[in-house]
């Protein structure tokens, strides 16, 4: 994968539940992380005392985080609605030159901040809430 511009890593939210995704407004920084728990099946018979892991077992998860400037756009309103109502809509993460990750996420944190001589900012964190799909670009 060639060098890509960070601004091209996009977080999109399904605005209406019909698969229409719109980029979350105002983001300046975004991050996507994947995690997989291990299942340790080491026993006294494990060769040389080395740890053994059970392939394909364990819980997989993904987390998304982003921070940016508050724009008071439709996506800001949707994020607030999703957080306060506890919805789990579909999101997309566009990874430039790599692919698209799509699936249900829950907004687990929504923070707003501002200083008297600066812009209003926000931070959002999401946790995967079901099966994610990956489509290569």
pLDDT digits (tens, 9 = 90+) for 4-37: 777 778 999 998 889 889 999 889 899 999 999 9
The stretch 93-104 carries a mean pLDDT of 93
User: Which is the CATH superfamily of the domain at 6-136?
Assistant: Hcp1-like (2.30.110.20)
pLDDT band at 61 (very low <50, low <70, confident <90, very high): very high
pLDDT band at 55 (very low <50, low <70, confident <90, very high): very high
Q: Is 85 helix (H, G, I), strand (E, B) or coil?
A: helix
pLDDT band at 70 (very low <50, low <70, confident <90, very high): confident
Handedness of CA 16, 21, 27, 33 (dihedral sign): positive
CB atoms within 10 A of CB 70: 15
Q: Is the pLDDT of residue 40 over 90?
A: yes
Distance of CA 40 to the CA centre of its chain: 27
Cβ contacts of 74-77, under 8 Å, gap ≥ 24: 74/15, 74/22, 74/25, 75/13, 75/15, 75/22, 75/23, 75/24, 75/25, 76/25, 76/26, 76/122
Handedness of CA 86, 17, 77, 93 (dihedral sign): positive
The stretch 89-96 carries a mean pLDDT of 93
For the chain, the residue count is 137
Note the pLDDT of residue 64.
95
* Angle at the Cα of 79 from the Cα atoms of 77 and 80, rounded to 5 degrees: 65
């Amino acid at each position: 994968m060639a060098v890509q511009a960070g601004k091209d890593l996009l977080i999109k939210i399904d605005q209406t539940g019909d698969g229409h995704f719109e980029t979350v407004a105002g983001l300046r920084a975004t991050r996507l992380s994947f995690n997989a728990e291990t299942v340790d099946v080491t026993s006294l018979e494990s060769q040389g005392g080395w740890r053994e892991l059970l392939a394909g077992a364990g819980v997989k998860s993904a987390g998304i985080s982003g921070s940016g400037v508050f724009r008071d756009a439709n996506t800001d309103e949707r994020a607030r609605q999703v957080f306060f109502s506890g919805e789990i809509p579909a999101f997309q993460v566009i990874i430039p030159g790599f692919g698209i990750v799509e699936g249900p996420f829950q907004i687990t944190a929504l923070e707003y901040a501002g200083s008297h001589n600066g812009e209003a900012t926000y931070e959002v964190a999401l946790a995967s809430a079901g099966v994610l799909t990956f489509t290569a670009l």
